[in-house]
Amino acid sequence: MQMLRYALYTGCTARESTPELLKSTLAVAEKLGIELVLLDEASCCGASHLQDYDDFLSLVLNARNICYAEKLGLTMVTICNTCQLNTAMTKHRLDTNPELKAKVNVKLAEVGLEYKGTSEVTHFLYAIIQDYGLENLAKKVNVPLSQFNIAPFYGCHNIRPSELQNLSNGGENPYNPTSLDDLIIACGGNNVDYDAKNKCCGFHAELQSPHTAAVLTGNALSGAIDANADWMVTPCPLCHLKLDVQHHGASKAIGREVSLPVLHMPQMVGLALGCTPAELGLQHHVTKVNFV
Amino acid sequence: MDGLKSQQVTFKLFRFNKDTDYLPYYNTYVLDVTHEEVILDVLNRIKWDHDGSLSYRRSCRHGICGICSIKVNGKAILACKARIFDLINVFGADMTIDPLSTKRAIKDLIIDKEDFWDKHAQVKPFLVTDVEENPSLENLVSPHDAEKLLEADYCIQCGACHYSCPALEINDRFIGPAAFAAAFRFAADVRDDSSLERLHIVNEETEGVWDCVKCMECAEACPKDVNPIEKITKLHNMIFDTGIAKDNVATRHAVGFAHSINKHGLLDEGELVRYSEGNIGVMKHLPEAFEMWKNGKIVMPWNMPKSKNLDEVKKLIESSSTVKF
Ligand code: SF4
Ligand code: SF4
Ligand code: SF4
Ligand code: FES
């Protein structure tokens, strides 16, 4: 197989509150022989909140991030669902609206950049599935996760709105997503089905609407627990922060103790590929990963 | 049935009569369906051939009246528009048919939509304007101005988005995506004189746009591509543009991103929480922050990573900002 190369947009979270995500992403890429070029120039995607404040500014900044992937001639991969949404949304709006693109490029020209629209933007989960291939991944699994019931938590911003996301996620249906389930199976694990797997974790309203956010987190954790999951896995560091760190608030909101270890998608793959807990940064979790 | 593809499908149908039943139950029907049939055809067949007491709403049969919306395996659909073969592609041949909101069921698939209409009424979904009662000319809106509505006027008030919204499910004071789309539809109308009043209504804490969790369920659910979350984002923008944004945790949370990006390129997560909550409000996050710090999840201010070529980011923020707070 030809060596896969991508420009990696880490987002902020992987460089701050979820260092284990960046660590495990790089470890898995190395094991699979995927080259990731870090986009150190990139700035925050705005997380859909800057967009509420200043839509045009967020377009300019996100376009600038994509420019750096274009300069390398590489597809940009993201490791955060919300980064994926905001970057792909920017790309889609500029690619389908020449007038808007021209307006953004006037600004980018001030710093010597031009947005062309030549780089694709895709989440690492879908890059693994579509470009690397699940059969190829399965062949590399040397520690199959067969003793675990694993609950996939998809996270909204990889699957909705499907009209946008289907440009890069292989046509995943948000009402019955399968990618993460398929990945669990390829890693030798048992995928667990539960209602909340494609629902919202509440992260984005955590400060403004703490009760709503906490109930949603609680529903996700309790759904996975009731479906007999040993742990959860998610492709989004923001979902991870909510599920891993905030289970106390969630438990209080739904009136039931809920807590479950939650792994980042690359941490799960890394375990199956034989990476050590330290290589995957498992010591950083607040809800302790007690099974390895 | 020449030339028709057909397939066997199992339908589990929600049944409930508010007046006589203590709990809902399901009836199961196994039917051969053709690739031409929509869900409404099946409901009709069950009612006409199997059980005349089955109750559901339908009228136009053309995706216009918005009355026939129900859920199939949790997905909100218009019964008269959703082709069964398309649903088989998503879910396979087992389908559970529920009312849009089971807790609001009156009889089988018929629900009490009162809360939906109340929320609509709350945003004043009508033009407020001084017009001559007997005008001599039409009151024209240019195509350019009509486009500003972003097709929000395509809403048929079916409730698919409203009853798919998780924020509303938990917080029943939340105005919800359909009414927000209506608020935008009139606030963006050049003939309307009440835009500001409507923006104040959707700017309220607990009820307004700030309590949206950004799950995108409403955009996914809408059979008319109204894209309510896009309109919600526009309402946020209009709240800032008109200067009516209050100084509170929600607005500071949005504005805080611009400050942080200007300083580091990246988001300073800790500082965002402090800036949004204020020095006192931030205290309630300390137990969690301590847990995070213990596990190496907090970057200290002096170690805050910065984007390379940060001067570019600063320059772009300087030149491309369109809003002041
Ligand atoms: S969504 Fe979060 S992690 Fe991603 S770039 Fe924005 S702030 Fe950073
Ligand atoms: S995006 Fe907001 S309004 Fe739309 S369904 Fe989700 S919470 Fe409700
Ligand atoms: S916005 Fe769409 S889903 Fe919501 S009520 Fe209107 S037509 Fe129905
Ligand atoms: S019957 Fe009118 S929209 Fe379906």
- Tens-place pLDDT, residues B186-209: 999 999 999 999 999 999 999 999
| A12: phi then psi, degrees, rounded to nearest 5 | -80, -45
Q: Is the confidence at residue B2, as pLDDT, over 80? A: no
Q: What percent of chain B has pLDDT over 70?
A: 99
Nearest to A161 among B174, B219, B325 (CB): B219
Q: Per the confidence metrics, is the pTM higher than 0.80?
A: yes
B305: CA distance to ligand 2 center in Å?
Answer: 33
Q: Is the CB of B270 under 6 A from ligand 2?
A: no
Q: Is the CB of B265 under 6 A from ligand 2?
A: no
Tell me whether residues A50 and B296 touch, CB distance under 8 A: no
Side-chain-side CA neighbours of B244 within 13 Å: the count stands at: 16
For A132-142, what is each residue's pLDDT tens digit?
A: 999 999 999 99
A-chain residue closest to B308, CA distance: A41
pLDDT at position B275: 94
Question: Of A117, A128, A215, A202, which Cα lies nearest the Cα of A169?
Answer: A128
For B125-181, what is each residue's pLDDT tens digit?
A: 999 998 888 889 888 899 999 999 999 999 999 999 999 999 999 999 999 999 999
CA B312 to chain centre: 36
Q: Is the CB of B164 under 6 A from ligand 3?
A: no
Ligand 4, residue B68: give the atom nearest the CA. Answer: 4
H-helix or E-strand spanning residue A26: helix A19-32
Question: Of B158, B168, B190, which Cα lies nearest the Cα of B60?
Answer: B158
pLDDT band at A157 (very low <50, low <70, confident <90, very high): very high
Which residues in A113-140 are b (16+ Cβ under 10 Å) and which e?
Answer: bebeeebbbbbbbbbbbebbebeebeeb
Pairing of strands B6-15, B94-98: parallel
pLDDT at position B140: 86
CA B120/CA B89 separation, integer angstroms: 35
Q: Is the confidence at residue A1, as pLDDT, over 80? A: no
Provide the number of CB pairs (under 8 Å) joining chain A to chain B: 207
| A262: phi then psi, degrees, rounded to nearest 5 | -130, 125
Q: Is B69 on the interface with A (CB under 8 A)?
A: no
| B289: phi then psi, degrees, rounded to nearest 5 | -60, -40
What is the predicted ipTM? 0.97
CA A33/CA A26 separation, integer angstroms: 10
Ligand 4 probe mutation, B60, B77, B222, most atoms within 8 A of CB: B60
| B180: phi then psi, degrees, rounded to nearest 5 | -65, -45
